[in-house]
Structure formats: structure tokens, C-alpha cells
Structure 1
């Protein structure tokens, strides 16, 4: 029996051929019947066959009709897409964007073609992979995409009559504060209903402290309603030797508890929902049961803890351990050795193997993490028993804050050591300059201004005075200069130097000065504060000009009041909590690189070209501020300028102020001649020689001694001199000790102390009656004036 072709296999050409053949046979039979001639009938049949064959050949050779192209109504398609609240886009087989709605344009700031969208992280790769799956399977989906503050879910579907298009639909996940809602539910009627069902519930923050708890938990834990908020949750519980967990308040006789940890929010710092159930029928907690309890407690600990099995693999890490070890929670390491640098892997593996096989004590070892190889951290390893699969307990301390404090202390120690070195260098240098300046003065007494050597001597003396200025800057950095503090207002100090600063800034830098309200008075040397402002301003100007010589820069000087509450909010480990008046100097230069920022206050450190700076500007600022009892901090980001903030403590009202020393008019050279005997004590031969010659030329009789013991011998042999001039710091016996012995014999003996150190630094040692101080370097004229004034009783 023949089977009919199905519609899917029907061929029009073959059907036509069958019908034509049947018709030809019927016509041939009719001709044979009418004519009665077999030859005529055969000829008719042949003609019919030939005609049928031609028709079939024409049908086979004729070109197939071309189907009309599909007409897609894109206006209708876009109207349908507009009806969706999601972002919708359509791409063709060539990957071209052919349609998108307004929500798509608003979400992606235009019409980028998927998967090339501005997504965060690996979003583009994930979206492209989902698109390939949609071409293959008809549908694709990817969750957790991020763009800005939005989280997206993308659905991709293949569409079209021939399946040659992709429809991309992006849905925004609207989140609400699940933690806040949970906190409200626990503290309200829902929490009471949980308590009625025997469930004690609490919301624990990432620091291990209670954010909310229902009333039944508060009653069991502390014996009252409320009061759990802010408490360390782990301290509310205790564990016995069998691993059973109980409330600390109820003691070891209390009902055992089952602790359930419910991480209902997927975020690093998300709170955790904890449920506690009475477990009165609990068998002795051994093996896996104890391990479950301990794991619950470990997860709640605010410090880093991890459990390791006997094979040395991680079983559990709590959130604090993950943060301290900088672990990627999406791909956690398998072994503890994976956390440390290669050199420490073997030591960590050996220690864990030793504790896993029997050691019961704990041990601390310093390791270096792969992400922070320069900062060793303390890893505590202890053996664990009766905890099921866990054999080793690891504890890792997050010491990033401690490391930062260590760096700051090391920097402060280094600055102090450099300051002491700078002070010592300045002292020795002042002795040398005293000799140079003194010899220049003696030579100038023998030459007149028209002499050929006079100008050379004057030039030597001028350069020596410049060097003396450098020593004063070193003393300022080492906080050993002599200050004359006054009670003053910072805006007055800034106003004094404003005109000077405008000239120093030039044409390309604009000066902007603002003053805050309610500024407290400070106690400092006004001249030294002016130097602080000028040095900071000049440094800022040079930074802006070097960053862009043609650009218009802005130097901002601001004064403001900083209260103790604001200082407390800063949470600074350096700045004490007090009321301050602050001076802020900021610029619009190129900023200070992070590797240079810790060094900027060191003496002789400069980033300027050779010959363009001494490197003492900021070190002088640092010394003046510190000696004034203040603090100074530098803050900078590359390309965003630098900001220097100086904090001076507000001066307490009613405290006596020190009046500035009255300036004394310079005496004429003819008035410094005198008579009498002077005992000169100086351990530096060159300084002693210059001072002796200078005083002798002024008419005095001079006896010299190289140390305190020789000076006392001279007093014993020669009797009382009219004046004693002595260095302060000397070997064998220093100046103050020698003067005390001399005063025992001659109580009214006038004294002049001279030193390369600052008077303030020596104040305690030279605190004697009727004592004058002459700082080095000094000139012949200054030495003569000091001797004349003391002998005259001034």
C-alpha cells in the first residue's frame, strides 16, 4: 500500500508529472479506440511524453521564487519595550544594537552595545558568557552585576522567527536595610513570639557585640530586660570541658544551649543573626557535637581565629581572621601555608603538624603574609582536643594599626635623634664661627675701608654671618633656640607678614587669607611664628611654580578654632585632646609623593635642584612649632597640592606672660674700653685665643684657663678677678660647677657664660644670681660690650 506524502514531504513538480502521465495514457487509449490504429496511438503517446518531459524540465530549471524579506515593526517593538520597567535592549546576529528603551539609556548613560557595558569588576566577562549561553540554549542569566550603586540581574533570551536576535533585560535589585528591619523585629512583638516558642534571638555586629536581643535572651543572660546592646556576646557564654555552652550568669549548672548562627546578609561587615535554644537532653559533647558548638563560638569571636584539621587544612575561619589575613572569601586558601610568603611556608607547616600530632601547649611565631611581606605578624598556634575534626587552633592578630603606630614612633625617634645631632653640630660650628668672626674683627681693626684687603675681610665676615644663620636654623629644628614667648593671636601674626607674602608670591600665585571666629590666644614667639608662616608660604610657592610655571596657583592661609571635642573625634594617637588654634597653609601644586612625605621635616632634605635650597626651611618650622608646645602635620595627595596644619594649644587665661627683652642701643666703639682683670675659661683653643686678644686690645688684663680645674687653681694663686668669663660645656669640670666653687670663695664675683648651645637649653644649669649669657658666635664688639655692661653693673 502506498503512503501519502506528508505535508512536509509534498513536491509540486512530482505531483504534476504524475497527473500529466495519467492524462497522456488516457488520451492514447481514446485515440486507439476511435482511430483503431496502433501506429497513430503510439505516435500520440510519444508526443505526449515529450511534451510532459519538457514541462517537467522547465519547472526544474526555472529559478525558485525569492521569499519577501521579513518586515519587523520596530516602532511597535520599542513601544512594547517601553512598557517594561526594566532596561531592555535587542541585538542582532552581528552583535549590533537595533533597539533599546529609555530605561536602558538612563541606566547605562547612553546606548552601549551589550555585553560591552560599563559594569564593575568582571561584569562584562560574565555578561558575555551568559550571552553565548543564550545563543546556544535559548536563555541565559547572570546575577550580581554592579554599575555604580546599583546591583543588576540580567536575563538574555534568543528571539525572532529565525532565532537570530537576543533580547537583553536588566532588572535593578532594590535593597532595603535588612539588618535594621531584623533589629526592629527582634526588639518588638516578633521577638516576644520567638521567646514564647523558646527561641532566644540576638543580632550580632561584625565586632562581636550585640546590636539587638529579644527580652527572653536579656532575662537569661543578665537577669533583666534590655541592657545587652553593645556588650561582647562571647563574654555572655561559657564552655565546659565537654564543650557544652551555657550562659555565664547561670554557671556550669545552667541549662546547656544550642547556638545557631544564621548569616542572612551576604556582605563582609554584615551582622549575624544568632539563635539560642535550650538543649536539656544534650549528651556529653564529644566529637562532632563539640566541634559544632566551638565553631559557633569561633565565628562570634571579635579577634581572628581559625580551625585546622589533622591534615593541615582549614576547617573554619571567622570574619576577624579573614580581615587580618586579607583572605578573599570567594576563594579561601586551603592550607595555612598559603597565607604566608614562601620562606615561611615550611615553618608554619611544621608547627601545625607538630601541634596536630600531640603538642598541647601554645606557641607564637612571627610570619609574613603574602599581601604584607614587609610587616611581620604574630601567629598563635595551639593544639585542640575533643573538637571533632579540628586538631589545631590558629589565632592571628590584626596589627595594621599597631604597625602604623610603630612607624610613627620610629619616625618621631628618628627626628629626635637627628635633632640632637643637629644641636651638637650647631654647637661645634658656632665655636668655629666665633674664631673666624673674631679674627676678621681683629684684622679689620688694622685695615681701613680703603685698604685692598678690607673688602676681602668684610666678605669673609659676611659669609660667616650667613653660616651663623644656618646654625640658628639647626638650633630651631633641634628645639634648642632661645624663644621669647608672648600671648598673641594668630591672625595678628599672619597680618604682620601678609604684605611681605604678597611680594614673595609673585604674579602667578594668588594669596587667599581667611580667619575663623572664636580663636583662642596662644603663647609663642611672634618673630618665630612669622618665620613659620613665611617658610611654609615660600615652600608652597616653589611647589606650585615647579608644578606648572605658567598656571595660576592659589596659596590659602586659614586660621580656625579646634575644640577638644573635634580633636577627640579625630581619634588621633599623636595630638592630645585639648583646645587648639590652628593655622592651615595649603597650595594647589603637584603635591608631595608618598615616599617623600615622611622625610620632609628632616634637616638638609630637599627636593629642589642643587643650589636652590638648604633643606632647612621645613625643619626650622618643625622645631619652632614643637618648641612652642604645638604640633604640625603634613597631608598631601599627588596632583592635589599639599596642606600643612599647625596646632597651637590655647593659652589658659590668667597665666603670667613673659615680657620680651628690651632692645639695648648699640654702644659706640670708644665706650667699650675698660680696665680690670678678667679670667677667661674656654676649652676651645681658637676661641680662647680670639677672646683673649680681643679683651686685651680693649685694655683688660686677661688670664686664661682651658678647663674648670685650671681656672680654680688660678683663682687660688692670683686671687679674685674683676670678671669671670666661662664656657658652659667643658671636659673635666663644666662651667657652672666651676662657678659654684668660685662663688664659695668670692660670692659677689660677676659671671658671663658663653656657649654655642641655646640659653633655654642651658637655663637649668646656669640658673645662678648675677649671671649674664653671651651666645656664640659673637663678634669682638659684642664681647667687649658684654664685659663692659657686667663690670658697670648693668
Structure 2
């Protein structure tokens, strides 16, 4: 540290040094000789005049006594005797320069600055006399109090003072032989850890700014280990893969010297770019502290432009988005793998010009944009293009002019949107299927009401006609066609996953056994049926009737695919959770399944048709030979049963459909054995009073006639509010039969009001919508359900069953 004094202080200190050479407490030899000569002369004159030896001796003694008194007085009272200032106290200056990291100033009792160091001037903005420093807030008052305490007690402190953003603590000490000086020491609260600050900035915006300027920076420890580095250094030294955990790695191993002394990155290949390294020590060399390394590429001359381009190509190959470089003539120089994938380029047929990638209509606009940017425009622009061979869906290509990369003049970027396009198609397909499903469900509901009236009227007429009657065959024909229409509505509901299921715990081999005799008649004599069952199959929970429909639909499709004959194979086998994991399916979760596989040896399904086979109304059959609802119905039934279905086909090698149904387990996790089928109740007669509520006139009329014919007393209502009025006037009601969806007040709202007065009221809902769908929206306990369309016999059986259930609950509660 350099102790710096003010100009006035230099004058005082210089003058004090001069006075110190002639201090009043000591005579020089010249002065002593002169005084001794004058004394001897005085004695000689006195003796010559008086000739008295005693008097001369007394005079000599008096002179000696006076001289001794003067000397003693000057030694006891030097300042008073001399009339001059005392010499400066050099111990005070030694105290002032004791530290080189502390700002120091010295003032005298009059409040004048004596001296200060350079750090004081740096922190305080000049040689400002304490305590009048440019301090923030109450800092000036605190420093004044510390000065007063130092004059009074010898020492004072001020811990919380600030100059700008610098937080300081001050210590004031009284010093000097006469204690006429104050030493002011100012120290920072925390010393700056330069290495930690650099490490923090290298990993942030400052490091990125250095990288953009071409500076690759790294902080290494005294042992040569990496502590921090910016992205530019890591990319060159470690590449894209090894950058995650770089701290602690040997920095020297990342660099190499060739025989000529040129420095390179060790991982770069046969055409490395030389770099120049600047070492910046962050501590004295003998202390062995950390060091900042700054590396820049050597100046690239015209002959070395290819090296720069190679370096850029290496960087582009690591990026996940498609980039390509084009020269001024519009020819491709380089494209990375992501660009090749995004553009759909065949590796064996690399294009020469960007226009080779797009359709004919987009060649001109793309060439014009590349020409414009290659001539000097560096601001990027976007162009919507259509890639050749990838349909009419446009993609966005960005064109940017570049400089300093040799022949490269334009950079092209292209986003790989194949996955995005696939997801868009899936979402569109799902939306379309959902819309068609909602439409199918609504159509099926309206058809079910109509078919209920037709089937009921046919049943009532058949009760009045016997076989052989002239009208009997016509009525049977009408009833048969109505049943076919009802089957079509069930297919619509199955596709929209809204059909009413009656799930049971069953085994797949049992279902196949029940339907095998029908299959043999359906597939004909030219197709051979082969059935194989695996061991250890778990029970599944599904509707046996719907599973039979699935098997029949798949078998009929297989038969049509083998017009010249072949083999239809039906297999069942268990699939464990471990096998599902090995399959690697992203759709089917790992679990235990029972699989059903239906295979044929037909012509197979073309690859462009296979993704569409489960769409509704899609068919490859001739007009009049298929509705296109078969496979969509199969898909809906399997999905509603919590299963999965996959199709596998190769043209000329046949087709196989594999169905996976989850093994049904109890709440404890154990597999549940198959339960025997529950036979429906056959009673079609009864007695009691029934309130019938139905908004469709024809359905209400048929249902009323059927119930009266079965022995019941029926009171009917056309909608919910009228049903409440009838309920309020009736003394006895054994059962309420109501439609679910009605105008103004629906069936569930009406039943809730009735049950508020009679909690045990039996209820039978009938609807053209699916039971599962309705039960999710109806929060009413102890209700029965009858799906439309239904026959007279089915209505009578459902009514008898509802009354029996109510009687059983009543007896159980009692």
C-alpha cells in the first residue's frame, strides 16, 4: 500500500524533520566552545581588574551554575524553551499503513486530514476528511458518534455504514504520543470471492454472451479440475452427450498440442480448429489459486474457410431441429440428420437444390427467397411450403442469410412435423368418431321407440291370430323385420359404446363352445373351422351375448375374405403381465389377460386400408353386401368391456384379430372363477296397480294394453308432471314404470319427488339409451331397467321381476 499525504501535511512533516535535527535538549560542539571561551574571557578580565583570586573563582562558579540551570530548564521544558512545535510521531504513520485491504485516513485534533491511502480515495471518491464522508442514510451520524467516542474513550466503532452499494464497518482509534491524532479504518463486510463470482457468471447470461462473441471460457482449480465453463467451451470440449456432469474433470485432458505447438480440443477429429488460450490467474502465482481460461479460435484465413464450415457442420449435426446450408448459387452444401428426416429425404437420393424438396408450385417462391437472402439480407423470413411426396399439408421453412462461413450463404431450418401431423390426424379421427357416436346414439334412441311400438303391436296381433291364419305370416314378417332393425340399432349403440351390457364372470372357451355350432353353418363347407384352447385361462367379465356377436362378426368377415375356401382358426390363451411388458405396447397397460385370436388364410388387408377398418360405415365389400358397422361394433363392444383389439395382416398371408380381455379379480386381488349363467324369470302374469308414464303415445298405448292383458291395473300419464298428479290421487301404487327422457320433467326427477313421500316405491325405468350411460346420471337406488325395444313378453317379465325384487327387499328389511 502507498501511504499518500495531502500537500499541507507534507509541509508540516518536512518542517518537523528539520526541527528534529536541532532539538533544544542538546548543544552542538560549536555552541559549547563559544560559550566556554566567553566564560574564560570574563574571568580573565575580572581577575585583571581586581587582582582578587577568590572573587574570580566565585564568578566562575556563578557562571557554571547559571549555565547548568539553563540546560536543566531546556531539558525539562523543551517546547516552552524553544518556542517550536514538537516533532511528528512516526509510530502513528506505521500504525496507519499496517493493512493493505483497509481504507485508512489520519486526522489531527483540529479535524484536518493528515494522510490517507489510495483505497480510501477509491472508496470515498477522493480524499474527503472524516467524518464528512458521502455515506448513505444515518451513516454520517454514526461515524460522527464514533469519532467523538474515540476522542473520549480512545476507540469508537460504526458497523453499519454504506457508500453507494458498498457496505462498510469503521474503526476509529486515538493515537500519537500526545494522542492528538485519529486513525480512521474502513473495511468491507465481506471480501469478494472472485472465483465464485466468475463461476456464477459463466453459467449465466455473461457466459452465453462470451460464447456468442466466440470466447470459450472455463474456470479451473489449482489442481487443473473444471469448476465452471460456458456452453461454448463445453460444446467444443465435451460434445452434446457428456455435458451433463463436467465439474471435477481434468481440463488438461480436454486439450492437446501438436508437434508445431498449436493447441486443439482433444475430441475434435481429423480437421480440428486451432485455438489460442489466455490464462488469467485469480490469485498470486505463489498462492496456487484458481485460474480463468479464455480460448478463442485462431484467425481463419481464406485458405482455412473449410475448417470453419466443418466446425459449423459439426455443431449443426448435434442440434435436434432440421438445419441445412446453401451456397450463393442455391445448391445444398450440408444438411443435418434432423433436416433429412423432416424433409422425408431418401438417403440414396440426396437433392441438389432446395427446390427439389417441394411441389412444383412452391419451387419459384422458395428460390426467390433464397436468392434474396444470399445477396446480403441477413434478417430471417418464413415461407409456407408443401413437401413433395408428403401430401398437401404445408410446413414452415425459415430462411436466414449467414456470413463468414466460406461458401455458405443461406441457412435453412425445417421443423419435423410428422409426429405433430400424426397427432393432429388422431385428434381429428377421434373427434369424428365421437361425433358419429353421438349421432348414432341419438338415432338409435328414436328408432328404439318406434320399434318398441311395432314389436308390441305385432305381439298383440299374434295373440289374436293362430298359425295358418292368412294374416299370421304377414305379422311374423313384420316382426322379423322389426327385430332386424332392432339389431341394427344395437350395432349403432355398440359402435358408440352405449349399448346395454349384461356382464357376467365367464370363460372364453365356454362362449366359443356356445357359438361354434352357429359358426359352422355361417362359414359354409369350403371353410374349415379349427379351435384351440390354452391352459390356465383366467375368467373375464363380459356380456356373453355381445362376445358371441364379436366372434360371429369376425368369422363372417374371415369367410368373405376366403371365397375359395381356407381355414378359420380360433385360439384362446393366457397372457401374463410380464409378456405384456415385453410386447412394448403404449396402449395396453401391464396386467394379466385372456386372449382370443381369430385368424384366416385369406387375401389379407392392404396396408393403406388397415388403419381404417374400425371406422363406422367403412367397408371394402360391394354395395348391398355390408354396412361397414361390423368391425366398428366389435371395437365398441371390446372397449366397453375394458379390453383391447389389434389387427395384423399381410397381403396374401391372411389376417388375424387378437382380443385381450383383462382377467377379472376380486377386491382382494384373487382371480374370480366363472359363475353360472342366471336364467331370466319366465313369469308373464301378475296383479297390482301400475302407474305408467311415457311421452311417446304409441309406446304408451302398446305398453298399457300389454300390462292389462297380463293382469295388471294400469293408470297412464303422458309426461312427468302429469304422472305426479296421478300419483297424488291414487290410494295404492305397486309399481311405477316410467320413461327416462321426457320433456319438461324427466323420469328421475319425477321419481325423486315420489320417493320423498314413499321411500320404498318400486320403480322400473325404460329407455332407448344404454343402461350404463343412464345409471351414471341417475343417482337413485333400487330401480330396475328395461331397454327398448322390448316385446310384450319382455315387458311382462320385467314387471314381474321388479315386483318380486320389491317384495324381497321388503321382507328382508322387515
C-alpha separation in 1, matches of 2:473 and 2:535 = 54
For residues 611 and 278 of structure 1, what CA distance do their matches in structure 2 show?
A: 77
Whether the aligned pair in 2 keeps the contact of 1:222 and 1:249 (CA below 8 Å) is: no
Q: TM-score, normalised by structure 1?
A: 0.60
Distance 2:238 2:445 in 1: 57
Q: Does 1:280 align with 2:276?
A: yes
**2:548 maps to which residue?**
530
In the other structure, the counterpart of 2:414 is 396
**8 Å CA contact 1:679, 1:725 repeated in 2:** yes
Moved more, 772-781 or 587-596: 587-596
In 2 relative to 1, CA 489–347 (structure 1 residues): closer, same or farther, beyond 3 Å?
A: farther
Distance apart, 1:249 and its partner CA: 7.7
Give the alignment of 1:31-46 within 5 angstroms. Answer: none
The corresponding residue for 2:796 is: 784
**Contact 2:720-2:745 within 8 A present in 1 as well:** yes
State whether residues 260 and 275 of structure 1, in contact with CA within 8 Å, keep that contact through their aligned partners in structure 2: no
Shift of residue 483, structure 1, vs aligned partner: 2.7
- From 468, 478, 491, give the equivalent of 1:460: 478
**CA 1:275–1:573: 2 relative to 1, 3 Å:** farther
Alignment of 1:337 with 2:318, yes or no, is: no
1:28-67 equivalences under 5 Å are none
Match of 1:509 among 514, 527, 537: 527
1:729 is aligned to 2:741 = yes
Distance 1:574 1:604, change over 3 A: same
CA contact (8 A) 2:331 2:352 kept: yes
Q: Unmatched 5+ residue regions in structure 2?
A: 1-224, 256-262, 278-296, 808-814
Q: What is the CA distance between 1:358 and its match in structure 2?
A: 6.8
2:439 is aligned with 1:424: no
Task: Please give the alpha-carbon distance, in whole angstroms, between the structure 2 residues aligned to 1:664 and 1:748.
Answer: 24
> What's the CA shift string for 1:552-586, capped at 9, x where partnerless?
51222233444445544544443344443332222
> Structure 1 pair 727/533, CA: closer, same or farther in 2 (3 Å)?
same
Contact 1:259 1:296 in 2 (8 A): no
Residue 597 of structure 1 is aligned with which of 603, 607, 610?
Answer: 610
Q: How many residues align?
A: 543
Q: Does the Cα contact within 8 Å between 2:507 and 2:674 map onto a contact in 1? A: no
Structure 1: stretches of 5+ with no match in the other structure: 1-218, 239-245, 263-273
**How far apart are residue 426 of structure 1 and its match?**
1.8
Partners of 1:387 and 1:250 in 2: how far apart? Answer: 32
- Secondary structure of the structure 1 residue equivalent to 2:413: strand
- Does residue 761 (structure 1) correspond to residue 761 (structure 2)? The answer is no
Q: Secondary structure at the match of 1:455?
A: helix
Q: Secondary structure at the match of 1:510?
A: strand
| Structure 2 CA distance for partners of 1:398 and 1:534, relative to 1, 3 Å | same
Distance between the aligned counterparts of 1:743 and 1:584, measured in 2?
Answer: 49
State the Cα deviation string for residues 656-694 of structure 1 (Å, max 9, x = none).
Answer: 7896773234225xx34x342x33222223212322343
Q: Partner of 1:348 in structure 2?
A: 366
SS in 2 for 1:694: helix
CA contact (8 A) 2:503 2:541 kept: yes
SS at match of 2:490: helix
Counterpart of 2:455 in structure 1 is 437
Q: Which residues in structure 2 correspond to 1:155-304 (within 5 Å)? A: 233-236=239-242, 257=264, 279-280=275-276, 282-283=297-298, 288=305, 290-304=308-322
Aligned alpha-carbon RMSD (Å): 4.1
Is the contact made by 1:258 and 1:293 (CA closer than 8 Å) also made in structure 2? no
User: Do the aligned partners of 2:500 and 2:787 also contact (CA within 8 Å) in 1?
Assistant: no
Q: Equivalences for 1:459-608 in 2 at 5 Å?
A: 459-516=477-534, 519-545=537-563, 548=564, 552-608=565-621
CA distance in structure 1 between the aligned counterparts of 2:606 and 2:431, rounded to whole angstroms = 22
Equivalents in 2 of 1:648, 1:459: separation in Å? 38
After the TM superposition, which residues 663-702 of structure 1 pair with which residues of structure 2 at under 5 Å, given as runs? 663-668=679-684, 671-672=685-686, 674-676=687-689, 678-698=690-710, 700-702=712-714
Assess, with a 3 A threshold, how the Cα gap between structure 1 residues 580 and 398 changes in structure 2: closer, same or farther. farther
Deviation of the 1:340 alpha carbon: 0.8
Asked if the contact 1:341–1:373 (Cα under 8 Å) also holds between the matched residues in 2, the reply is no
CA offsets 1:607-628 (integer angstroms, 9 cap, x no match):
3444444444323322221111
- Aligned partner of 1:648 in structure 2 is 661
Query: What SS is found at the alignment partner of 2:531?
Result: strand
Instruction: For 1:633 and 1:474, locate their aligned partners in 2 and report how far apart those are by CA, in whole Å.
Output: 21
Name the SS for the 1:754 alignment partner.
Answer: strand
Distance 1:660 1:520 in 2: 15
Q: Give secondary structure in 2 for the equivalent of 1:234.
A: coil
